[in-house]
Amino acid sequence: MSIFFRHFLLALQFFTRIPVTGRLAGWVGYSPTMLRASAAHFPGVGWVVGGLSALVLWALLALLPPGLAGLWVAVVLSTVFSVMLTGAFHEDGLADLADGLGGSAQRERALEIMKDSRIGSYGAIALVLVLLAKIGLLVLLAQGGGRLAVVALFAAHVTSRTMPLFVIRTLPHVGDTAQSKSKPLADRLSDRSLFAGLLWWLLAMVLAWWWLPGAPWAQAVLGALLGLAWVWRLLRRRLQGFTGDGLGATQQVSEVLFYLGIALSLPVLS
């Protein structure tokens, strides 16, 4: 259990702005081997980020005046909270990947562009469209019931953080391996780590089904898998592998299509 919690806290430290400092950080420790093992807990980080963001959304929906304007404010503020909690970690990856793939058709040049910390037009457009899509879809789900939007927010964060595990498992890491933060994660994803990650995800989906057994969770997961397949194919065709930015983009696209899968399965709102 000690090793389990150390690896989980290392993943939490790596992928969020939640402080793991002082004596706690000393107890957790760090090594490339530990970071590689922490990949099993990517969906576990989704439990924390998605769970806290869902609580914020639930509280805002309860406190704000009813109506469409209140739904928009609640969803926007819960999105702001989730971005602050992660430091826009995955959003940054999406923007970098969009800049690289949009900026050049040549693989090496695209990888070079992705290492530039400045955001370009392709990255800015990708960020705006993905954030608008997430917010708009959550507002749509909230119109069908605030509880659906709250549970979907939690389940989407866990599911979308499970999808990058399949990218790590099936594609080689490319790019500047000497400086890449994601390189220790990419050397190898063991069967045990993949199983642990899938267990985190399965428990989250069982909980979501228990809360809302009538919701179209299968369609939501199918949407996330389609998002994974699309980004995976793009990474293989354009880069012949993945970088940390590709993992972030996988999470973002999968999250959007998770919500879309639910939205397309709901009755038309009158």
Residue numbers of the domain that contains 145: 2-265
Is 270 within the bounds of a domain? no
| pTM of the model as a whole | 0.92
C-alpha 7/C-alpha 127 separation (Å) is 30
Is 220 within the bounds of a domain? yes
C-alpha 84/C-alpha 80 separation (Å) is 6
Is 211 within the bounds of a domain? yes
Is 187 within the bounds of a domain? yes
Is 120 within the bounds of a domain? yes
Q: What is the pLDDT along the chain (270 residues), one digit of tens a residue?
A: 677 778 888 888 888 888 887 777 777 776 677 777 788 899 999 999 999 999 999 999 999 998 999 999 999 999 999 999 999 899 999 999 999 999 999 999 999 999 888 899 999 999 999 999 999 999 999 998 789 999 999 999 999 999 999 999 999 999 665 555 555 565 567 888 889 999 999 999 999 999 999 899 999 999 999 999 999 999 999 999 999 999 999 999 999 999 999 999 987 654
Beta-carbon contacts of 81 under 8 Å, excluding residues fewer than 6 positions away, are 52, 53, 56
Beta-carbon contacts of 100 under 8 Å, excluding residues fewer than 6 positions away, are 110, 111, 112, 113, 114, 245
Domain count, the chain: 1
Q: Tell the residue number behind the tokens 């990218």, with chain if given.
A: 167
Is 31 within the bounds of a domain? yes
